[in-house]
Structure 1
Amino acid sequence: MIEVKDIHKTFGDNEVLKGISAKFEAGKNNLIIGGSGSGKTTLLKCIVGLHKPTKGEVFFSGQNFSELSFEERVPIRTEIGMLFQNSALFDSMTVEENIIFPLNLFTNQSKSEKLDRANFCLERVNLKGKNKLYPAELSGGMKKRVGIARAISMQPKYLFVDEPNSGLDPKTSILIDELINELTDEYNITTVVVTHDMNSVMGIGEHIVFLHQGQKWWEGSNKEIAHTDNKELNDFVFASKFMQAAKEKL
């Protein structure tokens, strides 16, 4: 489980996060949603340590991550997998080399052990045999799956995903959502997904945190979201649904 307590983040005079407290549970797809500028990605970066909160604490399985030194954070960092919005693959590396990259950094595994792990991860994301391709030879959906394969190569306890369906067609987006859901359930991962995609919210949103103007405005499940009387959440949900329906008609 991951817990954040009273997280504030200020950039100059701009207070982006205004006291966020929430829990993200193991074995569940925990989604952070909200409009542009609501603080979604900033909160994600505060949790993983890419941003230092101005105030507040982050706990991984009860351990106060915020109080640890850089060296003391390393054991937790090795348990974190992350898929960035643009997949962040190394263009000069093959698919296989991209997946093995974190294993080279954080493990003492032999070359054959790393290759076995890469092959397992590729098969798990339905890309068996694509080892020697380069990112430029992959579709958008394939890049996302390679990014997921790299994120799970270290067998993480925590998986962070930033806008996994950005730039993907609806069919591919569903496949990515299903893959994230399967991996979360199969390995009992604490998964945290930043998204504005309402299909993802309704499909895999077991636990949802809705941010509005830097504050936690609502928290619940995808089953509860359709019945909320929260005005700002309703505005966000139905505006998103309308836009998605309009796109599908074009």
Structure 2
Amino acid sequence: MIEIQDIHKSFGDKKVLTGIDAIFEPGKVSLIIGGSGSGKSTLLKCIVGLHKPEQGKVFFNKQEFTTMDFEEKVPIRKEIGMLFQNSALFDSMTVEQNIIFTLDMFSDMSKSEKRDRANFCLERVNLLNTNKLFPSELSGGMKKRVGIARAIAMSPKYLFCDEPNSGLDPATSILIDELVQELTQEYQCTTVVVTHDMNSVMGIGEYIMFLYKGQKFWEGSNQDMLHSDVQELNDFVFASPLMKAARDVIK
């Protein structure tokens, strides 16, 4: 479980997050949604320690992460898997080397054990026999799946995904969503996904937090969302004709 309490973050004079509270439960896919500039990615980076909030606390299984020093954070960081928006693969490394990079940092496995683990993770994301390919030889969807394989290399307790469907076609986006959901259930990890993809919201949104101008305006399930009377949320959710049609069917 991850709990965040009263998170505030500014960059210079610009307030990006104001008083954010939430609980993300294990075995569930939790989504952070909101418009551009609402603070979604900044909040994710505050949770994983890439940004330090000016105020507030982050707890991983009741351990306060925000006040730990670098060495104290290492055991928790070993339990975190992260999929970045652009996959963040190393162009000069093969697919296998990209996955083993994480194992080199955080494990004491032998070379053969690391290779076996990389093969297992690639099989799990349906990318067997791509070990020697370079990122430039992969499609966008394949890069995302390699990013996921790297994220699960350490069998994470916590999985974070920043816009995992960005730049992907609808069919590939659905495959990525299904993979994230399957891995969340398989590892019983606490999964937090930043997205603006309403297909993801309706497909895998067990818990949703809506940010508006750096504040938490609403939280609930995807089904609760369809019946919300929060105007700012409705303006965001029902901006597309598809979502308007879904609301009309329910009514």
Give the shorter-chain TM-score range: over 0.9
Task: Return the alpha-carbon distance in structure 2 between the equivalents of residues 241 and 71 of structure 1.
Answer: 50
| AA matched with 1:177 | D
Task: Return the alpha-carbon distance in structure 1 between the equivalents of residues 10 and 176 of structure 2.
Answer: 33
Determine if contact 1:34/1:40 at 8 Å carries over to the other structure: yes
Task: Return the alpha-carbon distance in structure 2 between the equivalents of residues 48 and 17 of structure 1.
Answer: 15
Q: Does 2:15 align with 1:10?
A: no
Q: Does 2:225 align with 1:222?
A: no
Secondary structure of 1:76's aligned partner:
helix
2:249 equivalent in structure 1: none
For 1:42-121, list aligned pairs within 5 A. 42-121=42-121
2:195 equivalent in structure 1: 195
Query: For each residue in 1:174-212, what CA deviation from the matched residue of structure 2 results, as whole angstroms up to 9, or x when unmatched?
Result: 000000000001110100000000000000000000000
| AA matched with 2:215 | Q
The 3 A distance-change label for structure 1 pair 240 and 45 is: farther
Q: Does 2:232 align with 1:232?
A: yes
Task: Return the alpha-carbon distance in structure 1 between the equivalents of residues 187 and 16 of structure 2.
Answer: 33
Secondary structure of 1:239's aligned partner:
coil
| AA matched with 1:13 | D
1:248 equivalent in structure 2: none
| AA matched with 1:43 | L
Determine if contact 2:16/2:214 at 8 Å carries over to the other structure: yes
Q: Does 2:37 align with 1:40?
A: no
Query: For each residue in 1:205-225, what CA deviation from the matched residue of structure 2 results, as whole angstroms up to 9, or x when unmatched?
Result: 000000001000000001111
Q: Does 2:24 align with 1:24?
A: yes
Secondary structure of 1:133's aligned partner:
coil
| AA matched with 1:154 | M
Secondary structure of 1:148's aligned partner:
helix
Root-mean-square deviation (Å): 1.3
Structure 2 unaligned regions, length at least 5: 246-251
2:207 equivalent in structure 1: 207
Determine if contact 1:198/1:241 at 8 Å carries over to the other structure: no
Determine if contact 1:197/1:240 at 8 Å carries over to the other structure: no
Task: Return the alpha-carbon distance in structure 2 between the equivalents of residues 71 and 118 of structure 1.
Answer: 26
Determine if contact 2:237/2:243 at 8 Å carries over to the other structure: no
Determine if contact 1:46/1:52 at 8 Å carries over to the other structure: yes
Secondary structure of 1:191's aligned partner:
strand
- Give how far 1:106 is off: 1.0
Secondary structure of 1:67's aligned partner:
coil
- Give how far 1:67 is off: 1.1
- Give how far 1:241 is off: 5.0
The 3 A distance-change label for structure 1 pair 240 and 164 is: farther
TM-score normalized by the length of structure 1: 0.96
| AA matched with 1:119 | N
| AA matched with 1:60 | F
Query: For each residue in 1:151-180, what CA deviation from the matched residue of structure 2 results, as whole angstroms up to 9, or x when unmatched?
Result: 000111000000000000000000000000
Determine if contact 1:5/1:22 at 8 Å carries over to the other structure: yes
- Give how far 1:243 is off: 9.3
Task: Return the alpha-carbon distance in structure 1 between the equivalents of residues 138 and 67 of structure 2.
Answer: 41
| AA matched with 2:136 | A
1:173 equivalent in structure 2: 173
Task: Return the alpha-carbon distance in structure 1 between the equivalents of residues 219 and 243 of structure 2.
Answer: 23
| AA matched with 1:18 | T
Q: Does 2:178 align with 1:182?
A: no
Query: For each residue in 1:51-110, what CA deviation from the matched residue of structure 2 results, as whole angstroms up to 9, or x when unmatched?
Result: 000100000000000110111000000000000000000000000000010101111100
2:137 equivalent in structure 1: 137
